[in-house]
Amino acid sequence: MQYSNELGTMIRDILKVQRQEFNKGNTENSGASIDAMVVIQKLLQHPRYRGNVKAASVLEEISFAKDALKYAKPLTKFTQTGAYHTVRNVLFA
């Protein structure tokens, strides 16, 4: 599936961290794009991003994959923290 530049950057950076955690043996989940999209969706639903045009477009793009998101596995807490910084950096760059 082809993603927009913003969503693609977020997914790539989040999965890079998750795969590092997987390689260290800290998790059994090596990460997939739907795993990252669930975390991004959760972060972008925060009221802080409500008026952001980029956030709205990313949320709309994620909504097209809504059926697949139910199969997502949780990412590590370290990856989720990194996801917050990644999302913030991409949206406000």
What residue numbers bound the domain in which 77 lies?
Answer: 5-91
What's the pLDDT at 42? Answer: 96
Check residue 35 and give its pLDDT. Answer: 96
Q: How do residues 43-75 score in pLDDT, each as one tens digit?
A: 999 999 999 999 999 999 999 988 999 999 999
Listed in sequence order, the residues at least 6 apart from 80 whose beta carbon sits closer than 8 Å to its beta carbon are: 39
Mean pLDDT value across the chain: 94
The amino acid at 71? Y
CA 89 to each of CA 11, 14, 21, 29, 42: distance values in angstroms, whole numbers, following the listed order: 13, 12, 21, 25, 16
pLDDT (0 to 100) of residue 82: 95
Q: Average pLDDT in the 35-47 region? A: 96
Residues present in the chain in total: 93
Domains in the chain: how many in total? Answer: 1
Identify the pLDDT of residue 1: 67
